[in-house]
Amino acid sequence: MHKRTFSPSGNTGTQDGWKNVPEGKVELRKKVTLLRGISIIIGTIIGAGIFISPKGIIKNSGSVGMSLVVWIACGVLSLFGALSYAELGTSIKKSGGHYTYILEAFGPLAAFVQLWADLIAIRPAGLAVISLAFGRYILEPIFMPCGVPELAIKLTTTLGITSVIYLNSMSVSWTARLQIFLTGCKLLAVGIIIVPGLYQLFKGETKNFQNAFELQSVDLAGFPLAFYSGMYAYAGWFYLNFVTEEVENPERTVPLAICISMTIVTLCYVLTNVAYYTVMSAEELLASSAVAVTFAERLMGKFSMAVPIFVSLSCFGSMNGCLFAFSRMFFAASREGHLPEVLSMIHIRRHTPVPAVIVLYPLTLVLLFSGDIYSLLNFMSFLRWLFIGVAVLGLIYMRYTRPELHRPFKVPIFIPAVFSFTCFFMVFLSLYSDLVTTGIGFAISLTGIPAYYIFIVFDRKPKWLLKLSDSINRSLQIIMEVVPPEH
């Protein structure tokens, strides 16, 4: 069965509109199963960091034992945040993550400011940085022992970003299948480190664990910075909430996927660090530029050349999972009228939100070739914790303002209270340690307030501007073959 569709210009058929398309609703399908949900969470949390440089924790905790305690504590705190998001995701069954929860709790202005910071800085900078890591590590075995040329890295990075965007535009199913495969590769890479490391431990290689909790080396003043590094390493547990509307049976799948994923990631992180310490002392770990490579060179010889490949696959999985998730935030924001209408449209045959997927592509490439991405990421990284803290605070707020809200999964109130306090503490720590950088980040995000009044509230726009906007919208619909979702 096929049906005739109306083109944006109002004509039917294939002359000015689209070709006949298959019968069925044009909507985002519920294709995220439990396994795919777990792969989204694990695949976005485990990036390059655990393989390259878990230095921030050992440097600021002062001892091997205390660094492991921090890894465990950060895993528990991240689980608290994830459980809070499980309640939010099962009671507010809309895609969009932070944006949707802030919108529901505190209204459109606060949600738009969060969206604005994400759109103009946080997401494109974050995608560019993880993509650069992919480009660097996939080329490293080819150029060994020489350094990789910067132009080659950027061209390969561009190819990586383009392929991820193309895949996400073409098929939700294939995107999810690739994510499962890449998550398997990450867990295999972690296993290749953990198993030999534990074997060394059982053989008696414990010299680096002697006096693991030596108090003389513990620096209490550095603990907040150690926790900051740890929480950053666990970031990504919230991405399943960005795609809630595409999750099968979200009331069961979201909490289960979150709990399973956080348990696996915490075990992987702690055991990987234990494995590193069976081969390297704390001083040697701090001196290494790529910890997993140093580990593999000492235990596996030439096999260490495979480590950069695993790191690049890990980065590719993070790129894929992040893009899949935050494209749904732009989709949800467009549906609420906070972004151009075309971003809430879906491809007529593939059922993918093509405009929301590709919207960051131009800005990400501009940032990639313009240079100073890392400073922009530093400006904005603390804002991520501010907005997550506000979203979790919204959970507590809605317990009192919306007691009638159906909550299939409900956490004890101390869990969101502890987690939101942790988020705001990390924001305060950022302000205290680097007032200038965080001040610039705040200034960038606060430009969202005038933008909200200019683009959203102000409704007396010139007719020529409205006509131009409508014309661009219709043209993009025809080019990308997208229509508003059916309800």
C-alpha span between 345 and 252 (Å, rounded): 28
Quick check: 483 pLDDT over 90? no
pLDDT of residue 2: 37
Radius of gyration of the chain (CA): 23
Note whether residue 391 is domain-resident.
Answer: yes
By residue range, what is the domain housing residue 201? 26-483
Instruction: Find the mean pLDDT for residues 127-144.
Output: 85
Quick check: 47 pLDDT over 90? no
Quick check: 164 pLDDT over 50? yes
pLDDT of residue 263: 92
pLDDT of residue 212: 65
- Phi, then psi, of 483 in degrees rounded to 5: -140, 160
Quick check: 26 pLDDT over 60? no
Residue 434 DSSP one-character state? -
Note whether residue 154 is domain-resident.
Answer: yes
| Residues 309 and 175: beta-carbon distance below 8 Å | no
pLDDT of residue 16: 41
In order of 113, 374, 384, 444, 464, the CA distances from 437 in angstroms are: 19, 12, 14, 11, 40
C-alpha span between 144 and 235 (Å, rounded): 31
- Phi, then psi, of 299 in degrees rounded to 5: -105, -25
Quick check: 11 pLDDT over 50? no
C-alpha span between 358 and 168 (Å, rounded): 9
pLDDT confidence band for 27 (50 / 70 / 90):
low
Task: Say which amino acid occupies 222.
Answer: G
C-alpha span between 466 and 460 (Å, rounded): 10
Higher pLDDT, 480 or 162: 162
C-alpha span between 38 and 454 (Å, rounded): 40
C-alpha span between 116 and 131 (Å, rounded): 22
Q: Which residues contact 156 (CB under 8 A, 6 or more apart)?
A: 134, 135, 138, 139
In order of 288, 293, 304, the CA distances from 309 in angstroms are: 18, 11, 10
Task: Say which amino acid occupies 383.
Answer: L
pLDDT tens per residue, range 379-389: 667 788 899 99
Note whether residue 2 is domain-resident.
Answer: no
Residue 205 DSSP one-character state? -
pLDDT tens per residue, range 180-229: 999 998 898 888 889 988 888 888 777 777 766 666 655 666 677 788 88
| Residues 78 and 234: beta-carbon distance below 8 Å | yes
Percent of the chain with pLDDT over 70: 89
Note whether residue 18 is domain-resident.
Answer: no
Task: Please give the mean pLDDT across all residues of the chain.
Answer: 83
Note whether residue 390 is domain-resident.
Answer: yes
Note whether residue 279 is domain-resident.
Answer: yes
Q: At 127, which helix (H) or strand (E)?
A: helix 123-143
pLDDT of residue 378: 67
pLDDT of residue 393: 95
Instruction: Find the mean pLDDT for residues 61-76.
Output: 87
In order of 106, 172, 235, the CA distances from 266 in angstroms are: 32, 28, 12
pLDDT of residue 189: 86
Range name among 30-44, 127-141, 289-303 with the lowest pLDDT average: 289-303
Phi-psi map region of 461: left, alpha, beta (phi>0 left; psi -120 to 50 alpha): beta
Domain of 229, CATH number, reads: 1.20.1740.10
| Residues 230 and 31: beta-carbon distance below 8 Å | no
Quick check: 350 pLDDT over 90? no
pLDDT of residue 49: 74
pLDDT of residue 7: 39
Residue with tokens 């494995």: 275
| Residues 271 and 49: beta-carbon distance below 8 Å | no
In 113-200, beta strands by DSSP E? none
- Token readout for 445 is 């995000």
pLDDT of residue 8: 40
C-alpha span between 410 and 91 (Å, rounded): 9
Note whether residue 3 is domain-resident.
Answer: no
SS3 77: helix
pLDDT tens per residue, range 269-325: 999 999 988 888 888 888 877 788 788 888 877 777 788 888 888 889 999 999 998
| Residues 271 and 198: beta-carbon distance below 8 Å | yes
C-alpha span between 61 and 58 (Å, rounded): 5
Q: How crowded is residue 33: how many other Cβ atoms within 10 Å of its Cβ?
A: 16
Q: Which of 170-179, 454-463, 477-486 shows the highest mean pLDDT?
A: 170-179
pLDDT of residue 347: 85
483: β partners: 346
pLDDT tens per residue, range 82-99: 999 999 999 998 888 899
| pTM greater than 0.75 | yes
pLDDT tens per residue, range 396-409: 999 999 999 899 99
Instruction: Find the mean pLDDT for residues 144-161.
Output: 86
Quick check: 19 pLDDT over 60? no
C-alpha span between 46 and 218 (Å, rounded): 27
Note whether residue 11 is domain-resident.
Answer: no
Look at the chain and report how many structural domains it folds into: 1
Range name among 213-217, 369-373, 449-453, 467-471 with the lowest pLDDT average: 213-217
pLDDT of residue 349: 84
